[in-house]
């Protein structure tokens, strides 16, 4: 009986860990007694994972070699498998319009398959020269038993941002538009859900306090608490809109989860969210040239091609976002709410199983 091993983090609340643990649990149903995991982390009470999920994952832990390794971590693990016949599948999102040159070489010469969550990212990989036959587009999933519309009555319009203060997330664009579009007397509130345990602590809270004092804009609530998936579902259900004017995004799992809870997304147009959101409000978007080192788009050791280090990113139009917010603040609370889509983890795991089956029959493609 062949073994499939998933290598990465499983026990924190980062999107990579959420994907890994759901895939492990769902693939274990598709391939009984064939799936195991090698965690790169340990359970931590701060992350609010249920005891039952931790117990199920612990049963799957193994350090033994497997016929197929699925690697999903950052930084990417390039080490040679302990058995030369082991095949390697990478799960790898990417948020920008050009990929690091090291990735292109390693994926093309080392990986047996590369799974990415959006056609948008797949196009970037193919443009970099990766063999298209190795690339498989499988969207990330969500749990419909946790994320669903509870039809909560909303007397105040809550706008939600989930992310951090990274350049690619675009919170600076949102705060600028909020300061221009709202005033203190408006019956609305913006909630900024930061995650410093994952992305690190910044000056975002202090910047928000200064902005409210100087602009006299509508209320902004800063939240950096650790939340479980159930906690996040409650937060989504309390809000009317989720705003994500991103400059770079590989998928956007929180947007899919929020939409399943009946929240209307306001998002950048032209990125991967075009592919899966059902009823978004799009922000007009252009392009902006950036130095990829200045915006922390690369990890130490990565480099771009010899053609230079300046690249395009998506740039949401702050004036258009301001106009959108103006109209929504003045209008009645939306009643035509979106719903969930077909990207449940159960369905997503079935698509992963197809890739695993196709790789299982092939010889390893690594250059020796």
| pLDDT per residue as tens digits for the range 180-238 | 999 999 999 999 999 887 777 889 999 999 999 999 999 999 999 989 999 999 999 99
DSSP 3-state assignment of 65?
coil
First to last CA, the chain: 27
Give the domains, in start order, of the chain with CATH numbers. 4-141+344-360 (3.40.50.2000), 157-330 (3.40.50.2000)
pLDDT tens digits, 101-150: 888 889 988 999 999 999 999 999 999 899 999 999 999 999 999 999 99
Stated pTM of the model:
0.93
What is the model's pLDDT at position 303?
A: 64
Give me the pLDDT at residue 341, please: 86
pLDDT score, position 364: 72
Long-range contacts of 55-62 (CB under 8 A, 24+ apart): 56/25, 57/10, 57/11, 57/21, 57/24, 57/25, 60/24, 60/28, 60/35, 60/36, 61/36, 61/37, 62/5, 62/36, 62/37, 62/38
Q: How many other CB atoms are there within 10 angstroms of residue 172's CB atom?
A: 15
Q: What share of the chain is helix, strand, coil (3-state, %, to 5)?
A: 35, 20, 45
Q: Which residues of the chain have pLDDT under 70?
A: 1, 297, 299-301, 303-308, 310, 333-335, 365-368
| Strand pairing class (157-163; 188-194) | parallel
| pLDDT given for residue 335 in this prediction | 61
Task: Specify whether the CB–CB gap between 31 and 24 falls below 8 A.
Answer: no
Q: What is the dihedral of CA 286, 289, 293, 298, to 10 degrees?
A: 40
């Amino acid at each position: 009986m062949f073994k499939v091993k998933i290598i990465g983090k499983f026990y924190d609340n980062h999107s990579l860990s959420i994907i890994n643990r759901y895939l492990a649990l769902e693939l274990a149903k598709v391939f009984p007694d064939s799936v195991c995991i090698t965690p790169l982390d340990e359970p931590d009470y701060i992350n609010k994972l249920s005891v039952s999920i931790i117990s199920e994952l612990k049963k799957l832990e193994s350090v033994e070699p497997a016929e197929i390794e699925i690697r999903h971590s950052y930084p990417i693990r390039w080490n040679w498998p302990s058995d030369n016949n082991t095949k390697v599948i990478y799960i790898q999102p990417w948020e920008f319009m050009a990929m690091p040159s090291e990735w292109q070489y390693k994926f093309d010469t080392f990986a047996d398959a590369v799974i990415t969550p959006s056609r948008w990212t797949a196009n970037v990989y193919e443009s970099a020269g990766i063999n298209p036959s190795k690339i498989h587009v499988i969207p990330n999933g969500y749990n419909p038993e946790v994320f669903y519309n509870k039809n909560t009555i909303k007397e105040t319009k809550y706008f939600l941002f989930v992310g951090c203060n990274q350049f690619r997330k675009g919170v600076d664009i949102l705060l600028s538009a909020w300061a221009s579009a709202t005033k203190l007397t408006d019956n609305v509130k913006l909630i900024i859900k930061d995650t410093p345990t994952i992305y690190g602590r910044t000056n975002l809270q202090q910047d928000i306090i200064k902005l409210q004092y100087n602009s006299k804009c509508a209320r902004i609530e800063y939240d950096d608490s650790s939340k479980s998936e159930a906690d996040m579902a409650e937060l989504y259900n309390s809000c009317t809109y989720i705003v994500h004017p991103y400059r770079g995004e590989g998928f956007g799992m929180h947007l899919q989860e929020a939409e399943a809870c009946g929240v209307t997304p306001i998002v950048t147009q032209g990125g991967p969210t075009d592919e899966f959101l059902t009823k978004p409000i799009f922000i007009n978007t252009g392009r902006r040239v950036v130095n990829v080192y200045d915006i922390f788009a690369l990890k130490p050791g990565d480099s771009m091609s010899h053609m230079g280090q300046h690249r395009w990113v998506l740039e949401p139009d702050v004036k258009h976002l301001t106009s959108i917010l103006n109209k929504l603040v003045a209008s009645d609370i939306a009643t035509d709410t979106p719903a969930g889509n077909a990207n449940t983890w159960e369905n997503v795991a079935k698509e992963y199983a197809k890739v695993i089956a196709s790789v299982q029959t092939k010889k390893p493609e690594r250059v020796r």
